[in-house]
Amino acid sequence: MCGLTGFISRPSADFSNRIEAMSSRLTHRGPDDAGAWTDGDRGIALGHRRLSILDLSPQGHQPMSSSCGRFIIAYNGEIYNHHEIREQLVAENSGISWRGHSDTEVLLAAIQKWGLPGALERSVGMFAIALWDRQENILYLARDRCGEKPLYYGVRRDAFVFASELKAIEAFSDDSLTVNRESVACFLRFGCVPAPHSIYENVWKLPPGSFLTVHVPAAGRFEFGQPESYWSVAQVLRSNGHDDSEQWDDRHAIDEIDRRLRQAVRLQMEADVPLGAFLSGGIDSSVIVSLMQAQATRPVKTFTIGFHEEHYNEAKFAKEVARHLGTEHTELYVDAAEAAKVIPHLPEIYDEPFADASQIPTTIVSRLTRQHVTVSLSGDGGDELFGGYPRYQFGEKLWARLSRVPKPIRRLSARPLTMLSARSWDTVLSRTLPRKYRPVITGHRLHRLAGILSAESLDNMYTSLISHWQQPGDALAWRDKAASCTVGAKMDIPDQRALNRMRYADIGRYLPDDLLVKVDRAAMASSLESRAPFLDHRVVEFALTLSPRFLVRGGQGKWILRQLLDRYVPRPLVDRPKTGFGLPLADWLRGPLRAWGEELLDEARLRSGGFFDARTIRRIWGEHLAQKQDRSYLLWDVLMFQAWHERRYS
């Protein structure tokens, strides 16, 4: 696990200083080694920070040149099947002069043999790649299939810049980047900035499963178009056609997921440094730890955090699972004071506004884990792949009812709900509704209902269902088309089944833009590598075409994972309602975090910032403090933006 950066610019006297400045901002991603490579004739520079995981010797140093000298690579990630690829190259007598045993060298050799698309097709892993082809004068940027590893790119002061994190792009020059208004609206809708956007103008995220080609015809000049996809959910579904899993019996399906996951876990347990796993005590992490322990020769090191608030505390369940499996378990209980210590660091850790509140416990458990190991496996991806979220079943039932009603009637029913702003609705409802209904029926929820009723399709309905701010314009200080943000509302996917379309939407957006961002930044802030066996693309492809009857039965999601876990852990230890990696945010904002929130949401500060409607934000803050309504999720969006903006521009 590492950090990469670079640029294409007109050669200048400070060429080396710039790449070093950019790389130094990524030290947390790679504290073990640093490297830079430049080509003044073409005006290109590559920088790298290394967290040594495989082949700890200097032979793993980057940027690395291919044995033929044609390619230079700066790479972040792991190619889990590098032994298999190396054996194939040796068997084919590929003429590679091997120097060490790193997966980076194997990746370069694969590119030398098969080209970048061929190497990507054969690679099982997580990665972000910057590859310079000295023969063709082309820079390639590539990202893994599911988006585990980040990669940003853009244009700054007539230069093409790229990096694992935005902070390295910011370091390219002293001038400030401009906030993208559409990205602010998208952030309020989803709690994160979805690809291909970044929070800045002229800077983008490379989408998962894609690569970008940048031609460099002369020193400092560059030409690039749109990213090209080499893997996507739609491509998998089209290539597989009609899957035969409908004909499988239960035993065959469970055996198959057992085999695939066991293989993925085995590959991801390879490391030349200490390794462990996050364990929440839920289905997903318990499956991963069970398969780790089943293939380990000593107790697996497992880590969890807990809360003193009983409703949010899963540590006791994790402890029971750990005791049953015989792992070496470490737990840490967290209170609001501990969370408050983390919050000031979040803008620096996440680089752009990010409002998944579980970023706090994820950051804390990553720090705890790094004290003991350098690599940690997780259960990320299990809910999206195997239908674990309760919203899937709710959404399926809701759409089944809505779709029976003609669209014109639904639109007509929704129209009155949007004739008033959410704020105006709250005023009207406070005067007309009995007090006991006021916390439940709010202007925000009426707008959400309107979005659901007027949805043109299941995809639109699901976007409305998962949106934070249903109408981002309600919170913004400006009113224009940027306030809508409909990223991801339509999917070019042949499967029309409701459960599957919602899963596919989350795999394409929520997983890479929220969950994987959360884990990558939190872990790498502590120089910890996090791996997700569920996201081995062979497991993903199996799950994508799995018959829905293996996903949901008896009102419960993840049916097939539950059956698999029964082979390793008694059902009573894990059979409970899903709670997620949450925290008592609503109570903390009214108590220990109130002063911090009041400072950031001060009316004068909101107005001077110029992004939010100060009256609206102050109103919902007051409603939350008075316990009239739980506004914690909406407020967390604004608080995280305010904290980020003040950190960047103050």
Average pLDDT over residues 123-141: 97
Query: DSSP string spanning 491-550?
Result: ---S---HHHHHHHHIIIIIIIIIIHHHHHHHHHHTT-EEE-GGGSHHHHHHHHTS-GGG
| For helices 390-402 and 458-466, angle between their N-to-C axes, nearest 10 degrees | 130
- Show contacts of 550-554: CB within 8 Å, 24+ apart: 550/245, 550/248, 550/250, 550/253, 551/386, 551/387, 551/499, 552/387, 552/392, 552/393, 552/499
- The reported pLDDT for the residue numbered 314 is 78
Whether 62 has a pLDDT exceeding 80, the answer reads: yes
Best CA proximity match to 185, nearest among 609, 449, 420, 475: 475
The yes-or-no verdict on residue 180 having pLDDT over 80 is: yes
Does the pLDDT value for residue 181 go beyond 90? yes
pLDDT tier, 431 (very low <50, low <70, confident <90, very high otherwise): confident
Instruction: State the chain's mean pLDDT as an integer.
Output: 91
Residue for token digits 């066991």? 262
pLDDT tens string 506-549: 999 999 999 999 999 999 999 999 999 999 999 999 999 899 99
Torsion 477-480-484-485 (CA) sign: negative
Q: What is the pLDDT of residue 550?
A: 96
Contact 143, 210 (CB under 8 A): yes
Q: Which pair of structure tokens corresponds to residue 546?
A: 């799995």
| C-alpha 17: how far from chain center | 32
Q: What secondary structure, in 3-state letters, does 577-604 show?
A: CCCCCCCCHHHHHHCCCHHHHHHHCCHH
pLDDT of 321 > 90? The answer is: yes
Beta-ladder partners of 7: 45, 161
Phi, psi of 386 (to 5 degrees): -120, 20
Average pLDDT over residues 2-6: 95
Q: For the chain, give the percent of residues with pLDDT over 70.
A: 95
Render the burial of 558-574: b for 16+ CB within 10 Å, e for the rest: bbbbbbbbeebbeeebb
Q: Dihedrals φ, ψ of 360, to 5°?
A: -70, -60
Take residue 286 and report the two structure tokens written for it: 């318990």
Q: Which residues contact 156 (CB under 8 A, 6 or more apart)?
A: 169, 172, 173, 177, 202, 203
Hey, which residues are catalytic here? 2
**For residue 54, what pLDDT is reported?**
76
pLDDT for the residue 482: 58
- Could you tell me which residues come within 8 angstroms of residue 368 by beta carbon, excluding any fewer than 6 positions away? 303, 305, 330, 332
Provide, rounded to the nearest whole percent, the portion of the chain with pLDDT above 90: 70
pTM of this prediction? 0.93
In the predicted model, is pLDDT for residue 10 greater than 60?
yes
Distance CA 269, CA 272 (A): 10
Q: Say if residue 196 is preceded by a cis peptide, omega within 30 of 0.
A: yes
- The pLDDT value given to residue 427: 76
**What residues are paired with 2 via a beta bridge?**
50
Judging by DSSP bridges, how do beta strands 301-307 and 223-224 pair with one another? unpaired
| 65-82 pLDDT tens trace | 999 999 999 999 999 999
**Beta strand pairing status for 223-224 and 203-205?**
unpaired
Confidence of residue 143 (pLDDT cuts 50, 70, 90): very high
648 — pLDDT class (breaks 50, 70, 90): confident
Phi, psi of 28 (to 5 degrees): -65, -30
Read off the pLDDT of each residue in 384-412 and give the average, rounded to a whole number: 90
In angstroms, the Cα distances linking 298 to 93, 327, 371, 486 are 38, 8, 19, 49
- Tokens 């980076």 locate to 104
The pLDDT of residue 425 is 75
* Residue 96 · residue 50 · CB < 8 Å: no
Report the chain's C-alpha Rg in angstroms.
25
Rounded to whole angstroms, the Cα distance separating 185 from 609 reads 15
CA–CA separation, 549 and 558 (whole Å): 10
pLDDT range class, residue 412, cuts 50, 70, 90: confident
| 36's tokens | 């830079």
Distance, in Å, from the CA atom of 365 to the CA atom of 78, rounded to the nearest integer, reads: 22
Confidence of residue 481 (pLDDT cuts 50, 70, 90): low
DSSP string, 209-245: TEEEEEE--STT--EE---EES--HHHHHHHH-S-GG
What is the C-alpha to C-alpha distance for residues 206 and 160, in angstroms, rounded to an integer?
A: 14
Structure confidence at residue 242 (pLDDT): 53
558-607 pLDDT tens trace: 999 999 999 999 998 988 766 555 678 999 999 999 999 999 999 999 99
Asked if pLDDT for residue 410 goes beyond 80, the answer is yes
Give the contacts of 1 (CB within 8 A, at least 6 positions apart). 29, 30, 51, 53, 76, 77, 78, 375, 524, 529
627-647 mean pLDDT: 93
323 contact partners, CB below 8 Å, separation of at least 6: 329
CA 396 to chain centre: 25
Least confidently predicted of 38-42, 102-106, 395-399, 573-577: 573-577
- The CA–CA distances, whole Å, from 208 to 151, 158, 467 equal 9, 26, 22
Determine the 3-state secondary structure of 84 from DSSP: helix
- End-to-end Cα separation, the chain, in angstroms: 32
Q: What is the 3-state secondary structure (H, E, C) of 406-475?
A: CHHHHHHHHHHHHCCCHHHHHHHHHHHCCHHHCCCCCHHHHHHHHHHHCCCCHHHHHHHHHCCCCCHHHC
Q: What is the pLDDT of residue 519?
A: 97
User: Is a pLDDT exceeding 80 seen at residue 311?
Assistant: no
Answer positive or negative: Cα dihedral of 260, 262, 265, 267. negative
Query: pLDDT value at position 575?
Result: 82
In this prediction, residue 157 has a pLDDT band, given cuts at 50, 70 and 90, of confident
DSSP letter assigned to residue 73: E
The pLDDT value given to residue 58: 82
Check whether 456 has a pLDDT greater than 90. no
Q: What are phi and psi of 158, to 5 degrees?
A: 65, 25
